[in-house]
Structures are given as C-alpha cells and as structure tokens.
Structure 1
Amino acid sequence: MITLLLLIPIIGSLMILPMSENNLHSKIQMKKIALTTSLINLFLSLLIWFQFDSNTTQFQFVSEFNQLNFCHLNFGIDGISLYFVLLTTFVTPIALLSNYTNITKDLKFFLISFLLLETLQIAAFVSLDLLLFYIFFESVLPILFIVIVIFGHGKDRFRSAFLFFLYTLAGSLPMLLAILVIYNYIGSTDFQLISLYEISLDSQKFLWLAFFIAFAVKTPLYPFIIWLPKAHADSPLAGSIILAATILKLATYGYLRVLINILPDATNYFNPLIQTIAIIAIIYASFSTIIQQDTKRLIAYSSIAHMGVVVLGLFSNNIQGIEGAILLAIAHGFVSPALFICVGGIIYDRTGKRIVNYIRGLATYMPVFTILFFIFTLCNTGIPLSLNFLGEQLSLIGIWQQNPIIAILGATGIVLSACYSLFLFNRLSYGNLSPSLPPLKDINRREYYLLISLLIPTVAFGILPNVILNTLHTSVSALLYIS
C-alpha cells in the first residue's frame, strides 16, 4: 500500500509529461490528471488510516525493495508518521486547486513539481532508514527552489529562493555527518536497529547537536528564521501552502523520530536549551508579526510563533505535551494554508496588492469571504472548538508539568497571536473601502470549497480530538524518557 502511495503521483507525472501545452484542451486534461492523481492518493491514505492498528508500536504496511545491491528501500508507517502522511495527501490537491486558474505558462512543470513533492514528502515520513530519510528530507529543496524562481512573485524571488535553498542545505550538512558517524559506529542506518544500541551520552550530545541544527533551520527556530518569510512572500500560492502545511512538518517529524527516539539522553540533557530557543522564537516572531505590512510575510511570521509552541510540547517529555504538539502541527497544516489562500490568493488575485495599508473595507463587497476569513483568524488565535486550541493547551499543559515559568512565557504567544491576527483582520475587512481598489467580487465556488475543505477538519477534530489521539497514545508512550 505504501508503495502505491509513493508511485501514484509518479505515474500521474509520467502521464502528464508527453502532453502538449499548446492548446487549452490539453491544459485542462493535464490539470484533471494531476488533481485526480492527488485525490486517489488521498483516498488510499484514508484507507491506510482505517486499517491501521493503533494498539502496537510496530511499523505497519512495511514494504522493502532490495533487488539492487546499491539500493535498499525500506518503508513503513507507525502512529507518529501516519498523520503526517495524511496531512501531505490532504494538502496536495488543495495546493493544486489554489493555482488552478492563474498558472498558464509552464503548466506541465508546475503540476509535475507538486506531484513529485507529494511523493518525496511521503517517502521522508515513511522511511525506516536514516540515510533515506536524509535524502528525501533534502530532495524537496531543488524542486521548491525552481518553483519559487519560475512561478514566484516579484524581482526579489531569486534572492528568496537562494536563501531558502542555501539555509536549509547548509543546515542539513551536520545531519549528514552525524548519519555517517552512526553508520561507522553501528554499521547500519536502520531506525529500528539504531534504537536497540546503547550510545554513550558524550556521543549522543555531538549527534544531537548535528541533527538539531538541521531541524531547527527547517522548523524554523531563532536565529534561523530569515529564509521563511522571504520564501513565503515570493513563492506562488501553492508553494506557500505546501511550505506551511507539510515542509515545516518534516522537522517536527525529525524531532520525534530521531532526537527523542534515538538520542533520548542527550534530548533530556539539552531540554533547557531547546525551551529557551523556543521561547525566544515565539516572542520574537510574535512581535515581528505585529509590525509586518506584507500580508503573506505576516502569516509566515505567525507560523514561526506557532511552531515554537509545537517544539515546547514535543520536548515536554509527557503524553499531553507531545500529543498536543502533534495536534497543533496538524492544525497549523489546516489553518495556515487557509490564511495564505485568503491573503495571497483571494485578496491578491482581485487587488494585485499585499500591502496592508492599500487594502481595507473588504466586508463591503465580500461578505462571505469576510466571514470565512474571520473564522480562520479566530482558529489561528486558538479559539475553543478549534484543533489549534487543543494543540496549544495540551502543549502548554505538558511543558507546565516540567517548567511552569517556560509555560507562562510560552502562553504569551497566545495573547500576541490574538493581537496580530485580529489586527490584520480588522484592518483588511473594515473601514471605508480603499480608494485604490475597484469594486471587488466575492469568492467563487472553487475558493469557497477550498476554504470549507480546510475548515471542516479544523473544527471536526477540535470537537472530536480522540479520533486522532486514540491512534497516538501507544506510539507516543514509547517516546517518554524515564531518568
């Protein structure tokens, strides 16, 4: 089943590859093939979810390919990777639909890029080998780099693409070095085999710092945050959606799979350092968000603050905190793309502007959009009945049990998120209609369905979180560190 999950987007790409872009009919066919392919993958991932046994910590649906001497592919899913795979397959069709009408040039490359991104991300989440994880972790970089350069906005997109590529590539080099050290020490890079070995604390510290740098850049945590707002601001809407929803979650998954699972002693040793860095990221990013004038940069900075809370929960060393962090990561994967669709898609397509001062009074002509924008703004602040609320509360409750002062400082992120989220909504939606704007049309059917498809799981899982939590309990319990 996992093999199918990885192959279906590739098959879709191969079907699109020989098609011509010279006429409208073939372009429509290419879009339909890409969208159908991503929806088949979503259906297949839901089938895996329904058949998943949540009572074991073992990897399930394991598939191996070792026919070639130089290539041993080993894939499997457990309770931790399951929801990251589901999030990837859910967000990919939304990303494709978000730019469904406004990408006309190089359409074939655009569609193939996002189908390949889906395969590479799923492969990173289901790899049972550390070296394979690194390869797929890094393989999304060149594709996203080219997407930003070709389909991005503004003259600054080249610099943004290079920043994104160089930051994340350079940050991951220590991880490659650490993987080679592990291979030299153990003779294997298999996750299950590594977890059986006793690694001394001094060795763990070195390995932990190498992996942490790579994941901190990808999260991103302070001081490695400069690339994210620039990448979001200058990438196409579909690129921003994928980047916010799933690319940032590669680091979240890495913390769980590598640092907490394989290097538990060093994780416990460096806990105060991680908590300090996460608090700095939350407060710094929140204050930076308030002063932003570009709407996409504003949402990007808010992502940094939310991921800071996720990191606090992940390293709380209790079930509430870790499960809360996973819930918040999933919630962020729904709400952040929705906000990007609102400001970088719907508003930008109609006005051609992203500067807050040029946009106001949208409620006059766009009442349906204003309502949906308001709901997602509230979800972003962590309002009750949303999945964000449960994720933030459980993460902070988890870290409270370890360090109440850190929990109080982390909770300031909730207050600050209410400030910048409501401030943005109020400035864009109310007041007199800006004289620089023409009368605007309300959202169309495609945009409405995109936002509703993101709103339903945000609220449904916010009301019924046990649908997710029951699958997580066993896998998360195995991660706890007993000193």
Structure 2
Amino acid sequence: FFISLDLFTMFMFYEVALIPMYLLIGVWGSGNKNYSAMKLTLMLMGGSAFLMLGLIGIYYHSAPEGQPLTWNILEIVENESISLGWQKFLFPMTFVGFGVLGAMFPFHTWSPDGHASAPTAVSMLHAGVLMKLGGYGCFRVAIYLMPQAAHELAWIFIILTGISVVYGAFSACVQNDLKYINAYSSVSHCGLVLFAILMLNTTAMTGAIMQMLSHGLMTALFFALIGMIYGRTHTRDIREMGGMMQILPYLSVCYVIAGMASLGLPGLSGFVAEMTIFVGSFQHTDLFHRVFVIVACSSIVTTAVYILRVVGKLLYGPVYDQHHLSLTDAKWWERLSTATLIVSVACIGFFPNFFADLIKFTFSPEIFTVLGLH
C-alpha cells in the first residue's frame, strides 16, 4: 500500500490489510468480540465504499479528453485533468474513505471496541501500522491529487479532526479499561495527524508524519505492556489493580515512559511531533485556524490528566488484590521488545532533525508546486 503508485493496487492492498481484521478479532479476540468485529467491518467497509467511488471518479477524470485513462498517481498529477467541480465532489469521498481508518470523528467508533476486543499483537499492529494507512492515503491521494478542493474544503475536515483530537482525549479520561484508554488516546493522536495534514504547509505536514511514527511506536509499546500486565493479573480494570510499581517494577517504569511520550515530555517522540504540528498549524494567521489550533493544543492538558490518572491508580497506592504480590516481572524477551520500542521513541525525541530532514527530503519539488506549499 505505502509504496504503490497505482490507485487500483493501492485500493487492493488497502482491502487486503483490512479484511483479515474481522477474523483476527472475531475468532481470536476476547470480550464482546463478535460485536466489535462486526462493527469494525461495517464501519471500514462503509469507508471503503466511499473510497472506491472516489477512486473510480478519479480514474474517469485522470486524463484530458481523448487520451488514455490511467490509475498512476504521478500521471494523474501531471495531467491536471480533474476540474475543480469534480475535485469538490471526489475529495470528500476519498478523504472520508481514508479518514475512517484514521479514526476521524464521527466515524471513529469502530476503533475503541476493535482495540479492546483484539488480541495484543493485533492491537499493536492495528494501531501501530494499519491506522497509518488512513493518514497516508488522505495525503497521498485526496490532497495530492485534488489540491484545489483541499484548499477550499479543508475547513470542514479541520472541524471534524479538531473534534477527534479533543473528544478522544476527554473520552480516555473516563475509561477504566486499559485498552479503552489507549484506544481513545489513539483516536486523539491520529486525529492530530489528519488535523496537521489539512493545514497544507510543510511544517505541519512534517509534524504529521513524525506523529505517525511516534504514535505507531508508543501505542505499540502501550498495547504490549497492557498485554503483559493482563497476562499476569487477568484484568485490565485499573480499579482492580494498584501498587504495580513494587510488584512489576520493570513493566511499570516502561509504562511511565510510554505515558510521558504520549503526553509530550521533551526528549521523547511525542513532544517533537506535536510541537512541529502546532508550530506549523499556527502559521495560519486567520482566526478560524488559530482558534482550532488552540482547541487542539488543549488536548495536551487533557492527555496529561488521563495518563497521570492511570499511572497513579495502576502503579502506585495500595495493592488491592493480594494475589498480585506473587506476580513475576518481565521475562528477557519482554524486556528486549519493550526496550527496542523505548529506544526508538527516545531516538526520535533526541534526534528530531534527522527525521525531519528525512521527511522533508521525500517532499519532491512537484509536491510543493501541486499543493502550493511554502
């Protein structure tokens, strides 16, 4: 999907990535897995239907009249054959089609239930990789191929993604299930990716890509740690756990580091990604953009609230279940996997210029010309 320059091939692999999720959750999941799998399937298939219509429309307007039609992204951009009227019609279809996978409000509801019912490895894969298809597709297809409509209609989706950022953070504050907390956190952080892409400047878009990298690593770390804790305690309810720092010190410290990355502690990936997004977004001088940037910035405070709430309830205080005192800390393979993710998160935080330069290098001059970026 990520390396494809052909829209048909891209759509095919988009579906190949999504369809197995029904079986992975419905067969091997836990809790209300059948409901979650069906909800995920219906929501994502609905998004796929919008996307398919949008891609077919792009294909039939991919070349000037009389010339052969094409699925190739680069040829479509070169032809500049999609009129503004058709762009305004096709842009919402493709953006919503990809945005559903990016957990864009109000099409986000599949994500928390899907994450909560999925096995640990599936949650890591889904949040860490598959949800990035949404942000990449919105940029690579919707915005890149229909830049005029993106400039004119971005305000609609800025409102929706701004709601995603704030709503996801506030929803995480009232959850008691560790997976639901992380799932709603993902709604907020992935909403920030789409929010930044819609700002249509290179600084914000660079931040969006860094946020995709950051979120993919730290949410995979979160889900891995939640799975390890659940495998020992057999519960994900933070009201039934406490004092884990004295029982599982290694896993607890890893959880604190993941939480600090999520709330944007300097020196970790979350800080550089979110700061780049907010700095780039604030380059717009009009009232509408700046109001929504401030609203999105408020999610930092809300994120700190739910992260510190979980850390306080889960890791500190008294041990509520005396059976937890006999639990053993992480094995060597668990330490290796979590340490690898933590080092990756720290590398982005300590060496952001390396990653920012690498991202900007991939923005070819043609992209600047097409999008009118500065």
Q: TM-score range by the shorter chain?
A: over 0.9
TM-score if structure 1 supplies the norm length? 0.72
Given the alignment, which residue of 456, 461, 468 partners 2:355?
468
CA contact (8 A) 1:312 1:396 kept: no
**Equivalence for 1:334:** 217
**C-alpha distance 477-274 of structure 1, shift in aligned 2 (>3 A):** farther
Shift of 1:436: 6.0
CA contact (8 A) 1:316 1:399 kept: yes
SS of structure 1 residue aligned to 2:283: helix
Shift of 1:357: 0.7
**Equivalence for 1:175:** 51
**Equivalence for 2:65:** none
**Equivalence for 2:66:** none
**Equivalence for 1:144:** 21
| Count of matched residue positions in the alignment of Structure 1 and Structure 2 | 358
Q: Hey, what's the Cα distance between the residues in 2 that align with 1:436 and 1:177?
A: 57
Q: Partner amino acid for 1:138? A: E
Q: Hey, what's the Cα distance between the residues in 2 that align with 1:379 and 1:349?
A: 24
**Equivalence for 2:12:** 135
**Equivalence for 1:426:** 312
CA contact (8 A) 1:172 1:213 kept: no
SS of structure 2 residue aligned to 1:353: coil
Q: Hey, what's the Cα distance between the residues in 2 that align with 1:435 and 1:385?
A: 35
Shift of 1:474: 3.5
What CA deviation, in whole Å up to 9, does each residue of 1:279-314 have, x standing for no partner? 111111111110011110110000010112111211
Q: Partner amino acid for 1:338? A: L
Identity rate, percent:
29
**Equivalence for 2:338:** 451
Q: Does 1:384 align with 2:266?
A: yes
TM-score if structure 2 supplies the norm length? 0.93
CA RMSD of aligned residues (A): 1.4
Q: Partner amino acid for 2:294? A: I
Given the alignment, which residue of 359, 367, 381 partners 2:249?
367
Shift of 1:270: 1.1
Q: Partner amino acid for 1:147? A: L
Q: Hey, what's the Cα distance between the residues in 1 that align with 2:306 and 2:106?
A: 21
**Structure 1 residues 227-236 or 192-201, which shifts more?**
192-201
Aligned runs of 1:148-163 on 2, under 5 Å?
Answer: 148-154=25-31, 156-163=32-39
Shift of 1:182: 2.3
Shift of 1:324: 0.6
**Equivalence for 1:244:** 127
Shift of 1:356: 1.3
Q: Hey, what's the Cα distance between the residues in 2 that align with 1:313 and 1:163?
A: 28
Given the alignment, which residue of 288, 294, 299 partners 1:408?
294
**Equivalence for 2:235:** 353
**Equivalence for 1:105:** none
CA contact (8 A) 2:247 2:324 kept: no
Q: Hey, what's the Cα distance between the residues in 1 that align with 2:59 and 2:193?
A: 30
CA contact (8 A) 1:319 1:477 kept: no
